[in-house]
Chain A
Amino acid sequence: MSYIKKPKVHHPDLAPNAVGMVRRDYEGAMSTLCAGCGHDSITAAIIQACYELALPPQSVVKLSGIGCSSKTTAYFVSGGHGFNSVHGRMPSIATGANAANRGLRYIGVSGDGDSLSIGLGQLGHAIRRNVDMLYVLENNGVYGLTKGQFSASADVGSKSKKGEANQTTPIDPVLLALSLGATFVARSFSGDKAQLVPLLKAGFSHRGFALIDVISPCVTFNDHEGSTKSYAYTREHSEPVVATDYVAPQREIAVDYAPGTAVTVPMHDGSSVVLHKLRADYDPRDRAAAMAYVQRHAKRNEYVTGLIHLDEAGADMHAQNATSDTPLNALAYERLHPGAAGLAKLMARYR
């Protein structure tokens, strides 16, 4: 366990956000993960992002599957409903929940086992449907709860704690998502909160499926020499290509960028995302180029990070379905069927 339970006392200097909440209001139960776990840093970043976005806590719906990462939905935003479902099947729960009520914010937290092995199918199809949700994949290359087996994201040659080298080719969630038509694809590192928080905020604001693959080292089973998902390796091999600034609705874009290096993308909720290219040859709006770039750098053992691809024009599941604006769970019953008279009329068809 990483920390003891803190009393819910607010320091008088803590600034409330636009909905009158302080950062502590977005915390959850005490984490039961190992001290130093990357996942706890991501939880802290999610709390920070929700606070900065001034989300009413009850508007946040937290969904997860099974695994260390999936436990973390209990550790943030205790004022939002949470659903810790079954292994690899969170995307279907999220899809149904989102279908029922399009008016809430959905965040799914998953891991590399949950998303890339047992849940690969559901992840892929949630991407295809462009379900409006933020999907955080806490990626450590290893099964923690069952004590150290390789996961599907483990790189070829990466060594287990016992010294075995992985031989099967890894699944890169970023490439997977890009190839399936994902409209928001990012990668980050649990140790880089400065990069991660704006990405989470942009992901929340994106209408459609926002995937953030976060390399999140497992301090107990995969943080040793020879692992390609250790803290040290990830720090050395990160290759940020796009710095992301999130600009809240009605705020001015304050930062000046050199001409031709920044792209401002207006988001559906009125906010903006400013993509600041750190590499001149990179265009986050070009899917094919993004895939080639990520693959090229993977060959050099580099993790490309940042908001790798953004397409705010893609139709999400509800747009594809042409669903009414009123959430389906709030429609008046009278609106849903033609009544006794309608049934009597319909019966003529079967006479």
Chain B
Amino acid sequence: MSAAASEDRVNDFVLKFANVNGTGSASANGLMLKTIFRMGVPVVGKNFFPSNIQGLPTWYEIRVTKDGHMARSGRVDVMVAMNPETYAKDIKEVSPGGFLLYDSSFSRPAVLSRDDVTTLGVPLAEICNREFQGVRARALMKNIVYAGVLAALLDLDLAVIRGLLAETYAKKPQLVDSNMKAIQLGYDFARASFACPLEVRVARRDLTAGRVMIDGNTAAALGCLYAGATVGAWYPITPSTSLMDAFKAFCDKYRTDPATSRKDFAIIQAEDELAAIGMVLGAAWNGARAFTPTSGPGISLMNEFLGLAYYAEIPAVLFDVQRVGPSTGMPTRTQQCDLLECAYASHGDTKHVLLFPADPAESFELSAQAFDLAERLQTPVFVMLDLDLGMNDWMVEELHWDDSRRPERGKVLGTDEVAALKQHFKRYLDPDGDGIPYRTLPGMGPKAAFFTRGSGHNKTGGYTEDAHEYQEVVDRLSAKFDTAKRLVPPAVTIGAPDGLLQGKPHEVGILSVGTCDGAVKEALAALAKDGVALDYLRVRGFPFGEEVERWLEQHRLVFVVEQNRDAQLKSLLTLETRVAKSTLRSILHYNGLPIPSSCIVEGVRKALATEAAA
């Protein structure tokens, strides 16, 4: 028995599915994820899918993690190899001592042989051809049969599976029976053919109470709902599409009069991203809360309008669900590659407010906050998700809402203030000294009217080409951006354990962002075991607040962990904080897959070893 196999692998292993896109495998794989979660064991689900509707290889990975890790582990203990085209690649990926499940209806290719991997052949096609009628049912049920096989191998609770199927097919109960039949066929075959359960298996625990499995796009859509956004404009683009799909579903449920079918919302599918952001600006200028979900290529197209929104000071909320660039890149793979694009989007001196959620719970919270910030600051606010966060289900605490919370609409003149206006309203004054002017909304009254323009304007809102008048306005915009530093959500920090420091000062840290969080935390724990004491700071907003400046000042060496090639977060830190460039050391992951903790552990170890040797 190999070393890996001898470890306690109950509730601590990785299950991976290799499928063909468009064959219905997603529901079977999701069923496995949810079953384990309902058995009280934390899970991490990651979907690696192609930019394709049907026919290309697709993978789904479930990490079963009793310790509640949030990232990928980098290993594969059980591979469900359902795609002959990728057999060779898939078997290579299995960790020593692992298992490979495949369809033995067809002659087993020589590629499926490895001395240190146990292969488990199940005649899935044969079973389905015998038991089910029709080409489509036979193909679909193969997935459910392997789920049944896994139920036996991993000791999954069949009652939980039946319960989930009953929820899924609440409106088509006959499908519960046919699916359960397929589960049972696989289950019985496995019990008869293999020593079940395997040593890698699931044992019921109570570690998921009060938790939910939800994806970041759905959570962001809920944030939009609770923020009171009423206008959404968008152009479909992977991986942001499911955000608007979710928002529409919530609005259909909660914002449509059941008697009249009249809607308290407008979702407009625009002709392109240029129009989508234009619609958002038009709506927000007119006093509605409005947003657009998109991805990097969409932001590229929106650049022109973003400059207008910055300069004319119009609130807007954008969701950039980042995917791999440059250009079309890999639309179904993840990266954090739009930080610089969004921070400085558009020509001229422009700067934008960014928020960085790390998981769906924060995606919900920061999405709701984004609308407050956009209106308080009268500027576009970007919620920076990525494909990993947006499209994968994450285990988080149940989302909560505080009913006393009200939208912060910022400095909009009230009816009395408008009535008291003696002369035409002046748009761009700074009476409060925080760089934020007051605004009025169309329809408020003839004295409240002003003219919005992207051309040079003075502080009253009038057209200008005067050097002083121009500069006065852009200097105030700069002051407003300083105010934003105090309003964006503060960074989250975790100090190195005192025991590890042994009285030594905190001097080395990791600074990271967004979905690197899970991998960083797991890496911190792994490094702590080796006696490496690291502080951790995760930025949640841009511009960076004073707390980020202070933390940087306190550290001699800071590893900046992010998921792009060009160290964009590190660039932003060097541009926008007082930190010395030499303090920062990059650890980068940018192959399109979510960052695993091993990348960080190795990066830190290597750098510290080099430093010690020097």
Residues of chain A whose beta carbon lies under 8 Å from any beta carbon of chain B? 56-59, 61, 63, 73-74, 78-86, 89, 91-101, 103-104, 121-122, 124-125, 129, 317-318, 321-326, 328-331, 333, 335-340, 342-344, 346-347, 350-351
Contact = CB atoms under 8 A, between A and B. Distances in A.
Contact of A121 (B226, B271, B424): B271
A91 B449 CA distance: 21
Contact of B449 (A78, A124, A333, A346): A78
A56 B274 CA distance: 32
Contact of A81 (B38, B274, B442, B455): B442
A57 B212 CA distance: 52
B130 interface: no
A82 B449 contact: yes
Contact of B304 (A79, A86, A100): A86
B442 A101 contact: yes
A343 B230 contact: no
Interface stretch (B42-50, B109-117, B256-264, B324-332): B256-264
Interface in B266-306: 266, 268, 270-272, 274-288, 290, 304-305
Contacts of A330: 287
B468 interface: no
B451 A95 contact: no
A262 B448 CA distance: 43
Interface residues of B, number: 71
Given A81-B452, A84-B453, A124-B271, 13 more contacts: A58-B446, A78-B449, A84-B452, A92-B270, A95-B282, A122-B278, A125-B275, A326-B264, A331-B230, A336-B230, A337-B401, A346-B222, A350-B213
A248 to B, nearest CB: 22
Nearest to B261: A322
B231 interface: yes
A183 B508 CA distance: 67
Tell which of B233, B305, B453 has the most Cβ of chain A within 10 Å. B453
A136 B101 CA distance: 67
Contact of A101 (B286, B424, B446, B452): B286
Nearest to B290: A96
Given A58-B444, A86-B308, A94-B282, A347 B231 contact: no
Interface string B394-426: 000011111100110000000000000000100
Interface of B: 38, 211-214, 222, 225-226, 228, 230-231, 233, 254-255, 257, 260-266, 268, 270-272, 274-288, 290, 304-305, 308, 398-403, 406-407, 424, 440-455, 463
A164 to B, nearest CB: 30
Contact of A323 (B38, B214, B266): B266
Contact of A96 (B233, B254, B403): B233
A97 B230 CA distance: 12
12 contacts: A58-B446, A58-B449, A92-B274, A96-B283, A100-B231, A121-B275, A122-B275, A322-B260, A328-B231, A329-B287, A335-B255, A336-B255
A241 B290 CA distance: 43
Nearest to B276: A92
A95 B449 contact: no
Nearest to A341: B403
Contact of A321 (B38, B263, B280): B263
Nearest to B213: A350
Nearest to B275: A92
Contacts of B403: 339-340
A58 B413 CA distance: 15
The 10 residue pairs across chains A and B that have the minimum distance between CB atoms: A92-B278, A96-B282, A79-B446, A96-B279, A100-B288, A350-B212, A329-B287, A96-B283, A81-B442, A93-B282
B455 A347 contact: no
A339 B304 CA distance: 37
A177 to B, nearest CB: 16
Contacts of B268: 95-96, 99, 129, 317
B452 A96 contact: no
B254 A338 contact: yes
B289 to A, nearest CB: 8
Given A58-B442, A343-B400, A85 B278 contact: yes
B282 A100 contact: yes
A57 B446 contact: yes
Given A322-B263, A323-B263, A337 B254 contact: yes
B283 to A, nearest CB: 4
B279 A92 contact: yes
Given A84-B453, A329-B286, A331-B230, A339 B401 contact: yes
B443 A103 contact: yes
Contacts of A92: 233, 270, 274-279, 282
A36 B225 CA distance: 52
Contacts of A91: 275, 278
Most-contacted residue by chain A among B228, B402, B407 (CB, 10 A): B228
Contacts of B222: 343, 346
B275 A340 contact: no
Contact of A351 (B212, B275, B280, B407): B212
A74 B288 contact: no
Question: Most chain-B CB neighbours within 10 Å: which of A57, A58, A335?
Answer: A58
A311 B471 CA distance: 50
A97 B305 contact: no
B610 to A, nearest CB: 45
A80 B399 contact: no
Nearest to A28: B451
Contacts of B399: 343, 347
A93 B281 contact: yes
A61 B449 CA distance: 9
Nearest to A122: B275
A325 B263 CA distance: 9
A79 B444 CA distance: 10
Q: Which of A74, A85, A121, A330 has the most CB of B within 10 A?
A: A85
A335 to B, nearest CB: 6
Contacts of A100: 230-231, 282-284, 286-288, 290
Nearest to B403: A340
B264 A74 contact: no
Contacts of A59: 443
